[in-house]
Amino acid sequence: MLSALRWIKKNIQDYRGDPNNIALFGESAGGLSVIDLGAVKGSVNLYRTAISQSGLGSPGTYLSYYNMSHALNYSNSVVQQLNCANDDQDKVLLCLRNSSIEDLLTAYGNRYTRPIIDNYFFPRYPPLAIKNGMYNNDLSLIMGNNNDEIAVCYAYPDINFNETLALLSQ
């Protein structure tokens, strides 16, 4: 996301845009990403406005984020399920890249992904960054929620993983 923002900041004038007036918008998980990005120190001055629509699934709780040990355990379980475990990281990456989309989706399962507090990209837990004044305070932030957003899930109550995969493969 930071690379995309840097590119936009550098090139937006070529599209008659203002590099000092860039707005980010995200809905649902994208909305949470827009909010979280303000805690990333490399994001300062890349955008001016953050708009989050229904991006507050469970922020403010530590359950909304992974720490490094959770992330490593999760990654290792996916690597093992794909039979890609190896001491040589290059071989692991090659195995992952050569895995089929079906195998990747099966290994990944229906797990909910979360930002990882890694002391690099996310140096701190975003709600604490806000509380402790370590958030990008130059941002204008607009936040809101859709009234019946979850209702879309009720439209297809009986669809399962295999049916979803078949739809994605079409």
Residues 31-61 pLDDT 10s: 888 888 888 878 889 999 999 888 765 444 5
What pLDDT shows up at residue 18?
97
Chain mean position to CA 134: 20
Residue 86 pLDDT more than 50?
yes
What pLDDT shows up at residue 164?
65
In angstroms, the CA 135 to CA 132 distance is: 8
Whether residue 135 contacts residue 38, with contact meaning beta carbons closer than 8 Å, is answered with yes
95 against 65, higher pLDDT: 95
**CA distance to 27, 105, 151, 153, 164, per residue, from 156 (Å):** 20, 20, 10, 6, 10
Which residues, listed in sequence order, are joined to residue 24 by a DSSP beta bridge? Answer: 50
In angstroms, the CA 142 to CA 29 distance is: 15
pLDDT band, very low/low/confident/very high, at 91 (cuts 50, 70, 90):
very high
What pLDDT shows up at residue 159?
63
- 14-27 burial code (b ≥16 CB/10 A, e <16): eeeeeeeebebebe
Q: How many residues does the chain have?
A: 170
Does this model's pTM top 0.85? My answer is no
Percent of the chain with pLDDT over 90: 34
